[in-house]
A and B are shown apart, each in its own frame.
Chain A
């Protein structure tokens, strides 16, 4: 029981990270209908930016952990947002309105570029990171097994929830959010009504990338090791989360992320660690076959 509870906590934390990445996928898919293949790699870049920033800050003698984390969060999200903007501007915008395979290939190319850019500029070695927030709260002890909620997990959960609240507010209550939803429904019509669609799409990419970078920071702090290849698997899993929740739906993305995190954690805890990726991917396949609209998605009606 205690073991299961611990796995539940771990799974939810992991799910928060996946959920944050999935939001980026689902937004981009909703607005321009393409899989942003490079999104997972933006997440990886975010993790590296966080590592660099934390190292710089500790070199500058900033010992306050919350301050360092807050500064890093802003820095990584900002620069990763710039990456997101650039990727969209360079690789996707020229191909808007082109035939449907072109943006996908270009996205795969961009993903390869980002991965190898980081490999070349930062080296291929795995980067470890000392634990920043050790300790936690002991929730309960049963048969010598202590269920622990670490400060790290608490911080990840709180930050994710805050970001999601802010983001939901942005999408549902602000003019920018209205423009985004309008573009999602009908880009041409939105353009005719005076919405700068190019700008809206750019901002969507920037926000998605910033959220992915925050997820990258969390991943770095939670696992303590990163390398240039983490983006691919995390990206596919986050995409699975987005599909599971119903692509285009923001609460769905978070819900899907939590589901994938839980499935993965429980699978590793009770079955086998080696096949945890297989479990996540199998879920993707099963969901698409039996529930193509996902948990909270709308059915895709096709007009001829």
Chain B
């Protein structure tokens, strides 16, 4: 055990010795080095004791695998009660929480919605999409451009943004759906990057790196939200004091509604033959073909559905920020959404919501360590995958069953290649 830890420490020294120990500083003419021996020592000691602790913990744990499905069964039972509780807590959030938490709630719910949208593609249809943010960007830019050039409001643009994003989903999906697994992942990633690069360079249309600003805010049946009140504002109509937090609360309910719509649609779709075909496709594509399911159409609808919801979320993002730029649509966003879906347990709705709260809300805790935030995020991804590769709520509820619906643990499932 001690030997193992010493070896780890030596390796850590090899890894960190140069990278941490010698910081390169850009000088006037040349590169200068600042030695930082104590930081290296700290890192090496951290690894040494971390390894010792890990080994000790492993030793103390009882051997033998835990009974599969125990956690899943508990989670399945709990989710029946958990879901209404979480829903009520969410709906009433603006009444008991401060403004900061309402804004944070808007952010988390945006990711919940994106997660549920991507869940259709990855969780249900089993298509690995690493370029999901492209459709999010399409939605955001569609709304911003239509609103600015044609003077349409948020509510009329919202369906348009969704339809446009879904259209792009089909357009991009059509040629690549013959690909499977990792190849599909890398092609969707390439598409995401292509869209970002095009947005970045098509300055005359999208404003390039400067982005688009002055995007109109959403209205409630024509009532605007502003801090000054005045004719036609929400505060004026209801005769209350104008307050900027009213808009935040309104946005909160808009995104909550959109997210619940996503959830409802995907839950209903699961019961349709189409939804069953998606899930069958995830389990075994060859068997699907043999049974006469049109694989291309099935995959395309999943792609279009997921893309459409990303478009809705994108339009909402644009209206919330009132400013968008290519900065917001990098690969890292796709990675975060995919991580939420996988962490939530593929296909589990409540799991995705919980994962979004953990990831985005948890990320917010590290706000003060801005520099280390992504480092911790990446590390957390690795650790979560190693500890619970199937996600937080891993398991599936069968779409059809005789009598009582039992929750199936993920440990008992195999997966085909889709």
Main secondary structure on B side of the interface with A: helix
- When the two chains form the complex, which single residue of A90, A114, A116, A289 contacts B178, counting CB atoms closer than 8 Å? A289
| Least CB separation from B418: chain A residue | A100
- When the two chains form the complex, which single residue of B183, B371, B390 contacts A288, counting CB atoms closer than 8 Å? B183
* A45: interface (CB < 8 Å): yes
* Interface residue ranges of A107-137 to B (CB < 8 Å): 108-123, 125-130
* Interface residue ranges of B167-219 to A (CB < 8 Å): 175-176, 178-179, 181-183, 185-187, 189-191, 193-194, 197-198, 200-201
- Which of the candidate stretches B14-22, B137-145, B244-252 sits at the interface with the other chain? B14-22
Q: How many A-B residue pairs have CB under 8 A?
A: 185
- When the two chains form the complex, which single residue of B182, B201, B381 contacts A274, counting CB atoms closer than 8 Å? B201
- Give the size range of A's interface with the partner: 35 or more
- A34-B30 Cα distance, complex, nearest whole Å: 41
* B342: interface (CB < 8 Å): yes
On whether the beta carbons of A122 and B19 are closer than 8 Å, the reply is: yes
- When the two chains form the complex, which single residue of B346, B375, B389 contacts A98, counting CB atoms closer than 8 Å? B389
On whether the beta carbons of B26 and A127 are closer than 8 Å, the reply is: yes
* B42: interface (CB < 8 Å): no
On whether the beta carbons of B190 and A106 are closer than 8 Å, the reply is: no
Number of interface residues of B (CB under 8 A): 63
Residues from chain A with a CB closer than 8 A to the CB of B187 are 284-285, 288
With both chains docked as a complex, state the minimum distance between the C-beta of B15 and any C-beta of chain A, in angstroms: 6
Say yes or no: A99-B390 contact (C-beta < 8 A), given A52-B24, A116-B374, A232-B331: yes
Say yes or no: A99-B182 contact (C-beta < 8 A), given A52-B24, A86-B15, A117-B375: no
Interface of A with B (CB < 8 Å)? 29, 33-35, 45, 48-49, 51-53, 55-56, 59, 75, 79, 82-83, 86, 90-91, 94-95, 98-106, 108-123, 125-130, 232, 236, 239-240, 243, 274-275, 277-278, 281-282, 284-285, 288-289, 292, 302, 304
Interface of B with A (CB < 8 Å)? 11, 14-16, 18-20, 22-26, 29-33, 122, 128, 175-176, 178-179, 181-183, 185-187, 189-191, 193-194, 197-198, 200-201, 286, 331-332, 335, 338-339, 342, 346, 371-372, 374-375, 377-382, 385-386, 389-390, 410, 415, 417
- A-B CB contact pairs (8 Å), 7 listed: A52-B33, A55-B32, A59-B33, A79-B14, A108-B338, A113-B379, A281-B191
